[in-house]
Amino acid sequence: SSGGTLYGNPKQIPVNEDYPLSPISYHGAGKWAIEAFFRVYASRPGRSLIILRPSNLYGPGQSLREGFGVIRTMLEHLRLGTEMKIWGQGDTVRDFLFIEDMVDVCIRFLNRPGESGIYNVGSGLGCSLKQVKDVVERVCGKQLRVVYQPERRGDVRSIVLDSSRLMAHLGWRSAVSLEEGISITWQWLLDQ
- What pLDDT was estimated at residue 14? 97
pLDDT of 66 reads 81
CA atoms within 13 A on the CB side of 19: 26
Q: Which residues of 69-103 are buried (b: 16+ CB within 10 A; e: fewer)?
A: bbbbbbbebbeeeeebebeeeeebbbbbbbbebbe
pLDDT of residue 70: 94
For residue 130, what pLDDT is reported?
A: 96
The length of the chain in residues reads 192
Would you write out the chain's pLDDT as a tens digit for each of its 192 residues?
788 789 999 999 999 999 999 999 898 999 999 999 999 999 999 999 999 999 999 999 999 888 789 999 999 999 999 999 999 999 999 999 999 999 999 999 999 999 999 999 999 999 999 999 999 999 999 999 999 999 888 788 999 999 999 999 999 999 999 999 999 999 999 998
Query: pTM, whole model, 2 decimals?
Result: 0.93
